[in-house]
Amino acid sequence: MIKHGVSGEHRSVVSVPEEILPDVQQQLKFFLCWESGRTGLSLLLLFIGFFLGRFHLQKPVTKDATTNPSLILNAATMPKYKEILDRAVAWGKTLGDEDDSVSKTVDKMFVEFGCEILKIVPGRVSTEVDARLSFDKEGQIARALRIIDMYKDAGVSKDRVLIKLSSTWEGIQAAEVLEKEHGVHCNLTLLFSMAQAIACAEANVTLISPFVGRILDWHLANDKSKTSYEPSEDPGVVSVTKIYNYYKKHGYKTVVMGASFRNTGEVTALAGCDLLTISPKLLAELEKSEAAVPAALSMEKAKAIEDLPKVEMNEKVFRWMLNEDQMATDKLSEGIRKFAVDQVKMDKMVQEMLKA
């Protein structure tokens, strides 16, 4: 039983049946959402797939969903999702020898998964653009619009889709064009620094996903004098807190969605953030706790901060700030490389299927 609230006031309660917990851990991501300025906690279950048909809750709490290349690759290799992959490949075979047929088919596979997810969630699904285009602004725009067109052909409005892009300068500029000129909402991922966050806010992107746990990982790996941090001193928590406060202080509308948590202390230390994503393992730990979860972040606290000047962001400032942040530089490039590896694996898998 999950019980959360502020000073024992309004509580949200959700039960996860023990007998299906292993499946839940395999197939779902859980999102916790603290609404700024309000007491209590509302739980949003974000399906990485529509996969768990036998998972039920007493009341509808599912709202949005997210995917990435690694998750889709994993799902595509599972026999029970073969039908989705087969549909995408069958569509791809109609392209014949058309240029870029493999990448188009892979995008179609992402869209097929997304369409199935949207049958059970009332909100939006995030679909990621090929990480190998992370430094190609025009390439990312073209690929994003192709994905949106595929959703449109499937009867899905662009308002129900978030395009995921890497938080490179080129990715952020691509997102600005997509949001402003095409009305396409974007989710900027692999975000590890204030430079990336400020550039995203200036570009008016819909949502950012700063990675709390991966920031902690880097600091623990590079500072052998530390084996752990108190939640309030955790580098990832500190980073997201600064981003949240900067956004609220200066009136930005971009949603801050903390991600990649390593422990429950990080989660509770960021209570009050627009959105937080947590793993089933950490959710299970929170489930056992009867402690109240007071809001650590709030609009009021952010507005009251005096020494938080606005940064005039441009490409030169962005690249210099990112260059000076070794952690962010390392983790951004590492994340892009890892997603690219999985994208190559999907390309090869689909290429073989198209030949069959």
Give the integer Cα–Cα distance in Å for 161 and 65.
Answer: 10
Give the integer Cα–Cα distance in Å for 102 and 351.
Answer: 6
The C-alpha torsion from 197 through 66 and 268 to 38, rounded to 10°, is: 80
Amino acid letter for position 299:
M
The C-alpha torsion from 36 through 38 and 40 to 44, rounded to 10°, is: -50
Residue 203 contacts residue 175 (beta carbons within 8 Å) = yes
| Residues 6 or more apart in contact with residue 94 via CB below 8 angstroms | none
Q: Is 101 exposed, middle or buried (0-12, 13-18, 19+ CB in 10 A)?
A: middle
Give the integer Cα–Cα distance in Å for 263 and 78.
Answer: 29
Give the integer Cα–Cα distance in Å for 354 and 268.
Answer: 47
Give the integer Cα–Cα distance in Å for 227 and 221.
Answer: 9
Beta bridge partners of 46: 29
Q: Which residues participate in catalysis according to the annotation?
A: 164
Give the integer Cα–Cα distance in Å for 22 and 9.
Answer: 32
| Residues 6 or more apart in contact with residue 95 via CB below 8 angstroms | 101, 104, 105
| Residues 6 or more apart in contact with residue 54 via CB below 8 angstroms | 20, 23
The vertex-264 CA angle with 340 and 24, nearest 5°, equals 60
Strands 161-166 and 125-128, by their bridges, are parallel
The C-alpha torsion from 223 through 256 and 188 to 45, rounded to 10°, is: 100
Beta bridge partners of 65: 125
Identify the DSSP state of 312: -
